[in-house]
Structure 1
Amino acid sequence: MQQRLILTIVILLIFPLSGITQNTSTRFGIKGGINYSKLSAPKTTATAPDQHHWLMSYHMGIIVDIAMNEQAFLRMGLDWQGKGTKYENLLTKNGRAAPMYFELPLNFMLKKNAGRSDLYIGLGPYISYGIGGKNRYAALVANGTVFSEKITWNDHPPVAVQPGNGGYFRRFSWGANAVCGIEFSGKIALNLQYGYGLSNARPLADNYYQRELSAGIALFL
Structure 2
Amino acid sequence: MNDQASSSPAANPLRAYFDRNPGRLMYKWAHYFDIYHRHFERFRGQPCTIVEVGVFHGGSLQMWRDYLGPQARIIGVDIDPRLRDLGEPGIEIIIGDQGDRAFLRQLAKQLGPIDILLDDGGHQMHQQIATVEELYGNVQPDGVILVEDTHTSYWPDYGGGLRSPHSFIEFSKRLVDELNAWHSRDPQQFSPGVFTRSARSMHFYDSIVVIEKGAHPQPTELMSGTPSFSLDLPVNDALPQV
- Indicate whether the TM-score tops 0.5: no
More strand by share: 1
TM-score, reference length from structure 2: 0.24
Q: Which has the higher contact order (CA 8 A, sep 6+)?
A: 1
Normalised to the residue count of structure 1, the TM-score between the two structures is: 0.25
Larger Rg: 2
